[in-house]
């Protein structure tokens, strides 16, 4: 949990129950565990709880968690939690419920985005209550940093460099305050106070001003770790998406000295997902950035060196062990390598797309772009889950969302739960059998021309933003020729290598399941040929690869 500085107001944990004995028990448990860092308040019923929440709102007091019983006269627990979310959108919610009310709790996950429900009784609290509250508090603090710890960004929302900086900060979950120079008087004052011309302006929490910094300079100013503590490791992992982070956690937890390199931001493409609702163990769903944050925290707990942004530019296989060459000129020696370097979204190859990249044409969908789309008419291009998640997320902010899909129906590559959610949103329109023909504008994107595959006819739409999800290319250009790839650049592993054999001191052997054409070098996740593009499968591949690494290191 995060210690609060002495001058900061302590966040509130509110417990609600109409049964005095139960309320006394939950108050005692919460105050005993959290009373030093948080204000633990109680309410003896739903009406009192809603009144207390209103007073806290007027005082601008931070509310971290509301824990409410469900069965209460007049005002039920779900009504209390709904009121809490209305007043404090970032509050974390917990429903205390009897077994008979489980269906109500599950319904609340869908209706209220309930964070958790706990069956009564919750004894022992060390096993059934505190782990839940600890996790929710950690999650709340990750999204509610005090203002003195916030990085401020001043720029135009139609600036490509501003988009790059905001995306980097958002995906790294670095607390950020954004000032659009076109509409923010405070932003203009900050820019004038900083002196030199040029935007975007970044002001770090310790007051350092950076004018239009690149990602490397920004990372250095914010103190992000980009260099390893040692030159040699048992296991080096290239890529910190779900596959790479899973391999890092399993490798380090099993005693391997492990380093994990990520060229930009941990999380990979999954880290840009607004909400993953079909990942096991998260009934309310989880955003890709939150999943990445949890995984990075878990990896560092096992003493993994997580380096980001750090770019591998070469893999030397000439020596007895693999050697990774890095962009800064340094190198890492390792007993084994797992390539989890993932893929990059393919770009639109149409007139105007390059000109307006970052100024209305975006690849992927950073959550930070909700300010860009608020009240606007936008277009999402693609028919798989990433496009569906972006369309649903942005529909909460944009005036309208138009989904362009080459396939004849949206469900061809998209999970049915997303198809259903899109159908329920009145401001989402789906245009199947269409593609982008060109984009246009002056200082920023203003129009997109689409083409109907059946008729060949074109139509111009007015839009301020296009978010593109049209397939992906593997990040494998930096690899040596010894790493065999298919014609699209994806890495061949295991049975896909055919009759190829690995020569070892103990004699020839078949490549292991996720092993590449180079002994001791493995590939997992999206970068591997014929991989299943799901978070769960990537995590599985990363964990299994570690078991194969052990076999290589023992040989």
Strand partners, 260: 237, 306
| Phi-psi region at 489: left, alpha or beta (left = phi > 0; alpha = psi -120 to 50) | left
Percent helix, strand, coil in the chain, to 5, is 35, 25, 40
pLDDT, averaged across the chain: 92
Higher pLDDT, 299 or 121: 299
Lowest-pLDDT range of 173-182, 365-374, 407-416, 425-434:
365-374
Percent of the chain with pLDDT over 90: 72
pLDDT average, residue stretch 237-260: 97
Q: How far apart are alpha carbons 439 and 446 in whole angstroms?
A: 8
Q: Is the pLDDT of residue 209 over 80?
A: yes
Higher pLDDT, 189 or 350: 350
Q: What is the tens place of the pLDDT at every residue in 462-502?
A: 999 999 999 889 999 999 999 999 999 999 999 999 998 88
Q: Could you tell me if 244 and 340 are in contact, meaning their C-beta atoms sit under 8 angstroms apart? A: yes
pLDDT average, residue stretch 260-285: 88
Please report the pLDDT score of residue 378 as a whole number.
97
Helix residue ranges per DSSP H, 3-155? 20-34, 46-58, 77-87, 102-112, 125-128, 130-143
Q: With the C-alpha atoms ordered 325, 330, 336, 340, is the resulting torsion angle positive or negative?
A: negative
Reported confidence tier of residue 195, pLDDT bands at 50, 70, 90: low
Please report the pLDDT score of residue 272 as a whole number.
82
Q: What is the tens place of the pLDDT at every residue in 13-68?
A: 999 999 999 999 999 999 999 999 999 999 999 999 999 999 999 888 999 999 99
Q: Could you tell me if 128 and 118 are in contact, meaning their C-beta atoms sit under 8 angstroms apart? A: yes
Residue 70 token pair: 């469900």
pLDDT average, residue stretch 77-88: 95
Q: What is the tens place of the pLDDT at every residue in 136-154?
A: 999 999 888 776 778 999 9
Q: Tokens 């910190």 identify what position?
A: 240
Q: How far apart are alpha carbons 268 and 262 in whole angstroms?
A: 9
pTM of the model: 0.85
Biggest CA-to-CA distance, the chain: 76
Reported confidence tier of residue 6, pLDDT bands at 50, 70, 90: very low
Q: How far apart are alpha carbons 56 and 10 in whole angstroms?
A: 12
Percent of the chain with pLDDT over 70: 97
Q: Tokens 């020839």 identify what position?
A: 508
- Full DSSP string of 303-347: T-EEESS--EEEEE-SSSS-EEEETTS-EEEEEEEEE---EEEPP
Lowest-pLDDT range of 67-76, 138-147, 332-341, 536-545:
138-147
Q: How far apart are alpha carbons 20 and 27 in whole angstroms?
A: 10
Please report the pLDDT score of residue 100 as a whole number.
73
Q: How far apart are alpha carbons 196 and 527 in whole angstroms?
A: 43
Reported confidence tier of residue 91, pLDDT bands at 50, 70, 90: very high
- Full DSSP string of 361-426: EEES--GGGHHHHTT-EEEEE-SBHHHHHHHHHHHTTSSEEEEEESSSSGGGBS-HHHHHHHHH-T
Q: Quick one: which of 298, 277, 274 has its CA closest to 288? A: 274
- Pairing state between β 12-16 and 63-69: parallel
Please report the pLDDT score of residue 190 as a whole number.
83
Please report the pLDDT score of residue 7 as a whole number.
57
Residue count of the chain: 555
What is the helix (H) or strand (E) element at residue 468, kind and residue range? strand 465-468
Q: Could you tell me if 135 and 290 are in contact, meaning their C-beta atoms sit under 8 angstroms apart? A: no
DSSP 350: S
- Pairing state between β 343-345 and 361-363: unpaired
Q: How far apart are alpha carbons 273 and 386 in whole angstroms?
A: 6
For residue 482, how many other CB atoms are within 10 A of its CB? 13
Distance from CA of residue 443 to its chain's centroid?
A: 30
Q: Is the pLDDT of residue 258 over 70?
A: yes
Domains annotated on the chain, with CATH:
12-143 (3.40.50.2300), 149-221 (3.40.30.10), 232-343+477-554 (3.50.50.60), 361-470 (3.50.50.60)
Lowest-pLDDT range of 89-98, 193-202, 229-238, 415-424:
193-202
Q: Quick one: which of 239, 236, 217 has its CA closest to 228? A: 236
CB-facing half-sphere around the CA of 458: CA atoms within 13 A: 9
Q: Is the pLDDT of residue 507 over 90?
A: no
* Sheet of strand 116-119, all strands in order from the earlier edge strand to the far edge: 39-43, 12-16, 63-69, 92-97, 116-119
Q: Could you tell me if 171 and 272 are in contact, meaning their C-beta atoms sit under 8 angstroms apart? A: yes
Q: Is the pLDDT of residue 121 over 50?
A: yes
Reported confidence tier of residue 2, pLDDT bands at 50, 70, 90: very low
């Amino acid at each position: 949990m995060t210690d609060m500085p002495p001058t900061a107001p302590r966040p509130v944990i509110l417990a609600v129950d109409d049964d005095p004995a139960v309320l006394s028990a939950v108050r005692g448990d919460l105050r005993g565990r959290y009373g030093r860092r948080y204000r633990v308040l109680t309410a003896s019923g739903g009406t009192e709880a809603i009144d207390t929440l209103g007073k806290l709102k007027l005082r601008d007091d931070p509310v971290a968690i509301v824990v409410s019983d469900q069965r209460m006269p007049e005002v039920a627990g779900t009504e209390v939690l709904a009121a809490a979310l209305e007043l404090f959108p970032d509050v974390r919610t917990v429903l205390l419920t009897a077994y008979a009310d489980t269906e109500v709790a599950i319904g609340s996950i869908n209706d209220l985005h309930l964070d958790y429900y706990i069956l009564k009784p919750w004894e022992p609290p060390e096993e059934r209550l505190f782990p839940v509250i600890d996790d929710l508090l950690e999650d709340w603090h990750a999204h509610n940093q005090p203002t003195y710890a916030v990085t401020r960004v001043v720029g135009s929302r139609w600036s490509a460099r501003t988009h790059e900086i905001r995306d980097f900060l958002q995906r790294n979950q670095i607390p950020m305050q954004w000032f659009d120079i076109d509409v923010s008087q405070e932003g203009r004052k900050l820019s004038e106070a900083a002196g030199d011309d040029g935007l975007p302006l970044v002001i770090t929490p310790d007051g350092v001003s950076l004018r239009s910094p690149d990602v490397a300079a920004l990372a250095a100013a914010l103190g992000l770790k980009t260099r390893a503590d040692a030159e040699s490791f048992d296991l080096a992992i290239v890529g910190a998406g779900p596959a790479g982070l899973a391999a890092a956690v399993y490798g380090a937890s099993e005693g391997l000295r492990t380093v994990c390199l990520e060229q930009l931001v941990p999380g990979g493409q999954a880290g840009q997902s607004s909400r993953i609702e079909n990942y096991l163990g998260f009934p309310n769903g989880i955003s890709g950035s939150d999943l990445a944050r949890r995984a990075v925290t878990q990896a560092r707990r096992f003493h993994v060196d997580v380096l980001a942004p750090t770019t591998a530019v070469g893999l030397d296989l000439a020596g007895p062990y693999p050697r990774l060459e890095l962009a800064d000129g340094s190198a890492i020696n390792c007993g084994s390598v797992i390539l989890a370097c993932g893929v990059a979204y393919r770009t639109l190859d149409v007139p105007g797309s390059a000109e307006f990249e970052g100024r209305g044409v975006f690849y992927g969908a950073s959550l930070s772009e909700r300010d860009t789309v608020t009240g606007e008419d936008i277009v999402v291009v693609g028919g798989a889950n990433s496009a569906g998640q972006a369309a649903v997320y942005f529909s909460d902010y944009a005036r309208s969302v138009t989904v362009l899909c080459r396939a004849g129906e949206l469900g061809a590559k998209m999970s049915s739960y997303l198809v259903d959610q899109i159908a329920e949103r009145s401001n989402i329109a789906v245009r199947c059998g269409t593609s982008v023909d060109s984009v246009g504008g002056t200082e920023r994107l203003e129009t997109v021309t689409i083409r109907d595959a059946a008729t060949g006819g074109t139509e111009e739409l007015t839009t301020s933003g296009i978010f593109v999800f049209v397939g992906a290319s593997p990040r494998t250009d930096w690899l040596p020729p010894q790493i065999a790839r298919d014609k699209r650049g994806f890495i061949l592993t295991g049975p896909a290598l055919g009759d190829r054999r690995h020569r070892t001191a103990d004699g020839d052997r078949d490549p292991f399941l996720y092993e590449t054409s180079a002994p001791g070098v493995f590939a997992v996740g999206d970068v591997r040929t014929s991989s299943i593009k799901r978070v769960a499968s990537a995590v599985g591949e990363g964990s299994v690869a570690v078991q194969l690494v052990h076999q290589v290191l023992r040989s």
